């Protein structure tokens, strides 16, 4: 932060970025933790799918649609996320920041309103499955544009202002997992719990919209936006284009070489990509199918995945993301960072050798629940901390006027990692 910059009064900008980060991932996390509700609506034998396809899959009592739901859901989420994140990197100067952010938030809220309404509407399983996947595609498409825009905005601010976005995204998962556990504890009907999930998500997105409307009015944010404009206009090598931003229709942005910027941040970009490839390749496709060996048939069975998988992952991931607000080690040029990220590959076989059911090929080596819980803590914390470090360092490895584009590139590689992990999850699950 420069000595002449105003203070972020009452941490207003920090809190708004935290709220926007929460609004970015909360929708997807509510979808992911509500899988029990979604799969429960795929059991009806009156499905238009042929009776052959309605038979049990893998001999575990599930229909084909139930068996493939998690993998298809992840793929339908991550591929649009990747494509739209790529488009967002090239559309920074063509579509105003305000339109990208506000349009995405409003579209996501509308989809969740529709999702809440459909909880009360009976549908054939195949129709419900198809509608759900279309909604996931739309939500994650707009989510990618929103995420890329936020990281681009944060790139113009001091390094620490990427942390609230990452931390807000981490809290989104924790919030969703906690809501699921409360629903189980209350004994609510699945439909009632799901309706509550989706209405809550709508409320959070609405608060995110209000937060974004407030953001341009804050002096701290205005200062860095103005400083960026001045740096662009004073750069003798810059080629300016008119950028139709609602805050200033005459605002100019540099026609920056994407390749030139990528050369400066490629290690960090590939590092964050690999981090999420490993994470999504394992969670939730493998981890959510792990069964407890301590109390089969007891109440712990009911809470094992919500607590040990979803809540524990999101709490530790959130802790790792938030830690970068006070500790940023190793440094951005240290070889330790990519090496540590590469070491996370070991989590894939470790989780595969836990009590994942059903399984066809590998033996169960780590029977006890404590192994799964220990691996989950290390897996989630390392994901949050290392990914957050990469996202903080990326925009600071380039010139100030290149920071917004660098942030968008980093967001694209984050999305690439998510999509790669989704594809990898199919192979990993089959090998178990």
The predicted pLDDT at position 284 comes to 82
Quick one: pLDDT band at residue 66, thresholds 50, 70, 90?
confident
Domains and CATH numbers, the chain: 9-431 (1.20.1250.20)
- For 170, 296, 335, 366, 412, the CA distances from 332, given in Å and listed in that order, are 22, 47, 9, 36, 19
CB atoms within 10 A of CB 181: 16
How many contiguous H segments (helices) and E segments (strands) does the chain have? Answer: 15, 2
Average pLDDT over residues 295-299: 71
362/2 Cα distance (integer angstroms): 56
Average pLDDT, the chain: 83
Higher-pLDDT residue of 219, 255:
219
Tell me which residue has tokens 């100030």: 400
Q: Is residue 25 within 8 Å of 204, Cβ to Cβ?
A: no
CA dihedral angle for residue 308, residue 310, residue 315, residue 317, rounded to 10 degrees? 110
Average pLDDT over residues 243-256: 44
Quick one: pLDDT band at residue 235, thresholds 50, 70, 90?
low
Quick one: pLDDT band at residue 247, thresholds 50, 70, 90?
very low
Quick one: pLDDT band at residue 380, thresholds 50, 70, 90?
very high
The predicted pLDDT at position 108 comes to 92
The predicted pLDDT at position 49 comes to 41
User: Which two three-digit tokens encode residue 416?
Assistant: 């690439």
Q: Is residue 131 within 8 Å of 67, Cβ to Cβ?
A: no
Average pLDDT over residues 167-182: 85
Those residues whose C-beta lies under 8 Å from the C-beta of residue 20, and which sit 6 or more positions away, are 101, 146, 150, 165, 168, 208, 211, 212
Closest to 283 (Cα-Cα) out of 74, 34, 83, 21 = 74
Residue 214 has pLDDT above 90, yes or no: yes
Higher-pLDDT residue of 148, 113:
113
The predicted pLDDT at position 39 comes to 84
The predicted pLDDT at position 48 comes to 38
Residue 250 has pLDDT above 80, yes or no: no
Full 3-state SS string of 300-317: HHHHHHHHHHHHHHHHHH
Residue 93 has pLDDT above 90, yes or no: no
Average pLDDT over residues 341-366: 94
The length of the chain is: 432
The predicted pLDDT at position 372 comes to 96
CA angle 27, 31, 36 (to 5 degrees): 155
Higher-pLDDT residue of 353, 80:
353
The predicted pLDDT at position 366 comes to 94
CB atoms within 10 A of CB 366: 18
Quick one: pLDDT band at residue 230, thresholds 50, 70, 90?
confident
372/350 Cα distance (integer angstroms): 8
Tell me which residue has tokens 């590998």: 362
Q: What is the pTM of this model?
A: 0.76
User: Which two three-digit tokens encode residue 216?
Assistant: 């341009």
- For 39, 56, 104, 125, 359, the CA distances from 62, given in Å and listed in that order, are 9, 5, 36, 13, 14
Residue 59 has pLDDT above 60, yes or no: no
Longest dimension (CA), the chain: 71
Give whichever of 28-37, 181-190, 352-361, 399-408 has the largest mean pLDDT.
Answer: 352-361
């Amino acid at each position: 932060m420069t000595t002449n910059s105003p203070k972020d009064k009452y941490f207003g900008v920090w809190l708004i970025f935290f709220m926007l980060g929460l609004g970015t991932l909360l929708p997807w996390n509510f979808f992911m933790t509500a899988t029990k509700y979604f799969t429960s609506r795929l059991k009806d034998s009156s499905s238009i799918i042929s009776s052959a396809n309605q038979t049990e899959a893998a001999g575990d009592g599930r229909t084909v649609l139930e068996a493939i739901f998690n993998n298809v859901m992840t793929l339908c989420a991550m591929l649009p996320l990747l494509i739209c994140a790529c488009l967002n990197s090239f559309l920074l100067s063509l579509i105003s920041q305000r339109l990208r952010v506000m349009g995405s938030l409003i579209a996501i809220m509308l989809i969740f309103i529709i999702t809440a309404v459909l909880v009360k509407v009976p549908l054939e399983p195949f129709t419900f499955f198809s509608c759900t996947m279309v909604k996931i595609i739309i939500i994650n498409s707009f989510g990618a544009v929103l995420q890329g825009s936020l990281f681009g905005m944060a790139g113009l601010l001091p390094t620490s202002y990427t942390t609230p976005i990452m931390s807000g995204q981490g809290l989104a998962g924790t919030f969703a997992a906690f809501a699921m556990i409360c629903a189980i504890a209350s004994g609510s009907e699945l439909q009632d719990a799901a309706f509550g999930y989706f209405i809550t998500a709508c409320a959070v997105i609405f608060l995110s919209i209000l937060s974004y409307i407030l953001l341009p009015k804050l002096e701290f944010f205005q200062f860095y936006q103005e400083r960026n404009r001045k740096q662009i206009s004073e750069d003798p090598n810059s080629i300016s284009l008119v950028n139709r931003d609602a805050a200033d229709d005459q605002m100019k942005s540099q026609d920056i070489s994407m390749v030139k910027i990528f050369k400066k941040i490629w290690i960090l970009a590939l590092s964050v990509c690999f981090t999420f490839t490993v994470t999504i390749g394992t969670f939730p496709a493998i981890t959510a199918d792990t069964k407890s060996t301590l109390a089969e048939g007891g109440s712990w069975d009911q809470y094992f995945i919500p607590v040990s998988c979803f809540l524990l992952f999101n709490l530790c991931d959130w802790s790792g993301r938030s830690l970068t607000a006070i500790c940023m080690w190793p440094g951005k040029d240290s070889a330790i960072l990519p090496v540590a990220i590469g070491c996370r590959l070991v989590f894939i076989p470790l989780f595969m050798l836990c009590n994942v059911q059903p399984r066809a090929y590998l033996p169960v080596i780590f029977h006890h629940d404590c192994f799964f819980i220990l691996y989950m803590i290390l897996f989630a914390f390392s994901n949050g901390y290392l990914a957050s470090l990469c996202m903080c360092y990326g925009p600071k490895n380039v010139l100030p006027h290149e920071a917004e584009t660098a942030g968008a590139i980093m967001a694209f590689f984050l999305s690439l990692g998510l999509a790669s992990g989704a594809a990898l999850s199919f192979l990993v699950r089959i090998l178990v």
